[in-house]
Chain A
Amino acid sequence: MAAPEGVALELHDVAKSFGSVVALRSGSLTVSPGSIHALVGENGAGKSTLVKIVAGVHRRDAGVFRLHGADVDFGSTAESKASGVAVIYQEPTLFPDLSVTENIFMGRQPLGRARRIDRAAMYAEAERLFDRLGVHIDPRRPAQGLSIADQQIIEIAKAISLDASVLIMDEPTAALSGVEVERLFAVARSLRDEGRALVFISHRFDEVFDLCDTVTVMRDGDYVSTDAVADTSIDQIVSRMVGREVAELFPKTPAEIGDVVLEVEGLSSLGTFHDVSFSVRAGEIVGLAGLVGAGRSEIARAVFGVDRYDEGAVRLAGRPVPARSPRAAIRAGMAFVPEDRRKQGLVTDASVARNVAAVIRRGLTRAGVLTNRDENRAAGPWAAKLEVKTSALDMHATTMSGGNQQKVVLAKWLATEPRLLIIDEPTRGIDVGTKAEVHRLLSDLAGQGLAILMISSELPEVLGMADRVLVVCEGRITAELSREEATPEAVMHAATANVTHTGELHPTETQEVTA
């Protein structure tokens, strides 16, 4: 295809909020044809939202969005595809039972006589595409059983057959081995040389520096900078990704650190995390930092007994906690506020009282009988303590805001009077005011001697709240940093450890994660 003059994709001050949560404040991105443009930023910086706006998944609230100079506004992914935008996600979505070729031509199969699908033409075209990409995949084989890398190649083939002029790859290398990454890069370079515009999202800086020519940094939903890769350095980009004052935002008052409450020893689960050992003391907030998908939530779930683990031991206050049983974990004194409030944290179709009393209700029965009145009497004060906003205790949690729901979940677990609180993404999807309330609460609880294990993808939250930071990268704890040592740069370096520190890829290590 001919490379048009000017810019292929242009976004200016694009904003997007979901309810009261601002996902994107002012996203800007300008990509020229024949260029591979890196888009980097922390979790929650707004990259994915920006990509979804370009892909037509979300509609922007405000801002300029131009494709080849013309204003566009996509209401669906079909519209964006028709305009020549292709997005390749980290986990491709192919139909596993259909052949590779059928996947490429899904919905626009070439028709032969009597409107029958012309299979011969389809296979020939697929073979041509694969030749052009320099890969050897049998066009007749089913998509099932293809490696993630090959699945991405199929997606790319689809994009080329659609003659996409803008290709966006959202963390395509996260699950690839070194060889596969090289092949993907070769394909990407050839597409660039054809004059297409590519956007490459990655957390691996050496890949960014190897492949891309321009890099745009985002932070907290805002555009930060755009530079030619040749004119910048990893350190410069890292500091731009995290650069902000964090100290005042999240005040953790120093608490007296007591005895060890939680001990985790050599915890392993095949393919998710490996040899994880740490401890949490009374009065201490330990932060689990790392990139999304590094295995932090999985570790927490295994500790609480929701998921199984293969090896290792969990002890609470010196006593072993049986595996695979949330009930045993609760009895031992653990509380777990999960990542997904609506699916895991509470029963949204049940009343506030039932939700708050959900874990303690066994203790509320009198002569084996449990009444609504018992539950209301127990739940009311806890709801009040956390300042849950509801008109009555029998209101359902369905329509509550995220922050209010989180308070219900916290009330439910604090009512159990736990010794250890595991809290996964304490403030995700919560408005700013409630966020501060949650942080103050966590700080108070630690002050009262509660041990807290906090998982957070928001670096400022981790740095502001945690007494100690454990950084998880690809299922392993790669760094343990004290409050003083935990700078944004140190955490980011450890979170992308095996890539940034050595400056080259280790195929064996990355492969282990995909296994």
Chain B
Amino acid sequence: MSTATLDRPDRAVRTYPAYSKPLWRRALLTREFAVIATVVAVVFYSNANVPNFDGPLTMYYLFLDIAPILLIALPMTMIIITGEIDLSVASVMGLSSALIGVLHADAGLSIPVAAVLAIAIGAVCGAFNGFLVAYVGLPSLAVTIGTLALYRGIAVGLLGTKAITDFPEEWTDLAKERIFGDGTSYPTILIPFVVLLVIFVWLLHFSAFGRGVYEIGLNDEAAHFSGVDVERTKLLLFVLSGAVSAFAGLYFTLRFGSARGDNANGLELQVIAAVLLGGVSIFGGRGALHGVIAGVVLIGVISSAMRLQGETVNVINIVIGALLVFSVIATTLLGWAQAFLAHRRAPAPRPGATP
């Protein structure tokens, strides 16, 4: 048996610089940095001009409010980077909330057991989405619009119009507790979020799996030809999305001490808006988690500042909607500007054919 021993390129002559641009350009001239800078600017402005914004209560409630969006944005970012979408996340939250209510109040299970079951069922919901998208080959937009209605329907069917509110106080308090004691601004939900954040940052940015996620979004055929298991990757992402959404549903239930089938109605659009604002391309292949986190925080900070100013929800929505549209336009304009500059810099094209 002869083996093909190719020359390992130890004695390679040519070396390449790793990067074509200096560090500051790579770090600062990015979409993600623009969002982070906007967050910082909005926080500074609000601290100076919005009464009560700099108090610990503001940040505390801000984190409590955006926690579900922060959590779900993690798997949603990866799904959108593969070029797919999951619209059923809020319905899975509702289903998880209703399940916890039924399992705890009617079946008499303890909260941890009910929670584990709800998260497992959330993962099954995600697996169903993922199976239809990855293995049957249906468009995720259509599949998850369908399961958005399906899961929500099951959730409302479980509880009807009633709400279950008799949860043990130790659990409902835990959801609202502060990590560093009274008067500080960080609620305990940030602990599981940070754990998940570390896992997702590793998955997307520091693992071979994550490289495959980007390749699927940029060119799934080439990814397939290089041995990326496109189907399995997508399935796994939808399972993660279902499980994390169910966990967010658990948090939502305990925070408000209320299990209802229509909990978190419409939250999926807030998640997607935040992810897109954070610089993830809806066409897939582009985006990073630090931008997405900044996107969620930006929406949270703006709404909280405007609420303190006494603006109504409608006005807040108009501002956030306009911001989102502007961010999309800005990307396009930036693209044009870059293409224009590149065109200017390139040597003049050969004079056209003269027949």
- Could you list which residues of chain A lie within 8 angstroms of chain B, going by C-beta atoms? 59-63, 65, 71, 73, 258-259, 261, 282-283, 306, 317, 326-327, 329-330, 336, 338, 343-350, 352-354, 358-359, 361-362, 364-365, 368-373, 376, 380-385, 387, 390-395, 412, 414, 417-419, 445, 448-451
The interface-forming segment of B15-23, B240-248, B294-302 is B15-23
B-side contacts of A448, CB under 8 Å: 4-7
Alpha-carbon separation in the docked complex, A349 to B185 (Å): 42
Q: Which of B201-241 contact A (CB under 8 A)?
A: 202, 206-208, 210-211, 214-215, 218-219, 221-229
| B4 pairs with A306, CB closer than 8 A | no
Bound-state CA distance A276–B224 (Å) is 24
Interface check B345, CB cutoff 8 A: no
Can you name 29 A-B pairs with beta carbons within 8 Å? Answer: A60-B353, A258-B2, A282-B2, A282-B3, A326-B224, A326-B227, A343-B222, A344-B221, A347-B222, A352-B16, A353-B18, A358-B211, A359-B226, A359-B227, A361-B208, A368-B202, A369-B207, A370-B210, A372-B18, A376-B18, A382-B9, A385-B12, A390-B16, A393-B17, A393-B18, A394-B20, A417-B4, A448-B6, A449-B2
Cross-interface CB contact of A391 among B20, B208, B353, cutoff 8 Å: B20
Kindly list chain A residues whose C-beta atoms are within 8 Å of the C-beta of B353: 59-62
Given A65-B355, A259-B1, A391-B20: A385 in contact with B9 (beta carbons within 8 A): yes
Q: DSSP majority for the B interface?
A: loop
Q: Does B106 reach chain A (CB closer than 8 Å)?
A: no
B 26-60 to A, binary, CB cutoff 8 A, 1 in contact else 0: 00000000000000000000000000000000000
- Interface size range of chain B in the complex: 35 or more
CB neighbours (8 Å) of A60 from chain B are 353, 355
A344-B225, A354-B214, A391-B20 are known contacts; what are 13 more A-B pairs with Cβ within 8 Å? A60-B353, A282-B4, A326-B227, A327-B229, A350-B215, A369-B206, A381-B10, A384-B13, A392-B19, A393-B16, A417-B5, A419-B3, A445-B4
A225 to B202, CA, bound (A): 65
Name the residue of chain A whose CB is nearest to the CB of B229.
A327
Q: What chain A residues lie within 8 Å of B207 (beta carbons)?
A: 365, 368-370
- Residues of chain A within 8 A (CB-CB) of B291 are none
A346 to B223, CA, bound (A): 8
B344 contacts the other chain (CB 8 A)? no
CA distance A472 to B206 in the complex (A): 45
**Cα separation A170 to B353 with both chains bound (whole Å):** 26
Q: Which residues of A contact B210 (CB under 8 A)?
A: 370
**Neighbouring A residues of B8 by C-beta, 8 Å:** 417
| A352: chain B residues within 8 A (beta carbon) | 16
Q: A362-B208, A370-B211, A384-B14 are in contact. Are A62 and B218 (CB under 8 A)?
A: no
B285 touches A (CB below 8 Å): yes
Minimum CB–CB distance for A217 against chain B, Å: 25
Which residues does chain B contribute within 8 Å of A391, judged by CB atoms? 16-17, 20
Shortest Cβ gap from B25 to chain A (Å): 11
Task: Give the chain A neighbours of B229 by CB distance below 8 A.
Answer: 327
Which B residue sits closest to A349, measured CB to CB? B218
Please indicate the chain B residues that have their CB under 8 angstroms from the CB of A370 in the complex. 206-208, 210-211
